[in-house]
Amino acid sequence: MNAITAVPDQAAPIAQRLPGDRDVWIFICAELLMFGAFFIAYIVNRASELAVFNDSQRTLDRTCGVINTLILISSSWAVVQALAAARSRRPQLISTYLGVAIALGVAFMLVKVFEYTAKFEAGLSMLTNTFYMFYFCLTMIHLMHVVAGTVILTVMWNKARAGGYDSGPLQGLETGASYWHMVDLLWIFLFALLYLLR
Partner 1 sequence: MDEKTSLRYELISAWCGPAFFITFIIFWVIIGHNLPNPSPALSAVDLAARYIENLGQIRLGFIISLITVVFYMPWTCVLTVQMWRIEGKAPVLSLLQLLGGALTVMVVSFSAMFWVVAAFRPERDPAITQMLTDTGWLCIDLQYACTTLQMVAAALVGLADKRAVPLFPRWVCYLTIWCGISFFPASLTGVLKTGPFAWNGALSYYIPYFCWLCWYTTASVYMIKDVRRRMSGASVPATSRGFVPGMSV
Question: Least CB distance from residue 9 to partner 1, whole Å?
Answer: 18
Question: Least CB distance from residue 53 to partner 1, whole Å?
Answer: 13
The yes or no reply on residue 103 touching partner 1 (CB under 8 A) is: no
Task: State the number of binding residues for partner 1 (CB under 8 A).
Answer: 20
Q: Judged by CB under 8 A, which stretch of 38-46, 69-77, 86-94, 155-163 contacts partner 1?
A: 38-46
Q: Which is nearer to partner 1, 6 or 133 (CB)?
A: 133
Q: Nearest-CA neighbor of 103 among 54, 154, 140, 145?
A: 154
The yes or no reply on residue 30 touching partner 1 (CB under 8 A) is: yes
Question: Least CB distance from residue 24 to partner 1, whole Å?
Answer: 6
- Taking CB under 8 A as the criterion, the residue among 137, 143, 147, 155 binding partner 1 is 137
Is-contact 118 60, C-beta < 8 A? no
The yes or no reply on residue 41 touching partner 1 (CB under 8 A) is: yes
The yes or no reply on residue 21 touching partner 1 (CB under 8 A) is: yes
| DSSP letter (8 states) at residue 14 | G
Task: In whole angstroms, give the CA distance from residue 6 to residue 82.
Answer: 16
Task: In whole angstroms, give the CA distance from residue 103 to residue 122.
Answer: 29
Is-contact 104 71, C-beta < 8 A? yes
The yes or no reply on residue 23 touching partner 1 (CB under 8 A) is: yes
Cα distance between the two ends of the chain: 57
Whole-angstrom CA distances from 165 to 3, 40, 83, 179 are 13, 40, 10, 18
| DSSP letter (8 states) at residue 180 | H
Question: Least CB distance from residue 65 to partner 1, whole Å?
Answer: 21
Q: Judged by CB under 8 A, which stretch of 30-38, 79-87, 113-121, 150-158 contacts partner 1?
A: 30-38
Is-contact 151 157, C-beta < 8 A? no
Half-sphere exposure of 20 (CA within 13 A, CB side): 17
Question: Least CB distance from residue 47 to partner 1, whole Å?
Answer: 14
Binding site for partner 1 (CB under 8 A): 21, 23-24, 26-27, 30-31, 34, 37-38, 41, 45, 126-127, 130, 133-134, 137, 141, 144
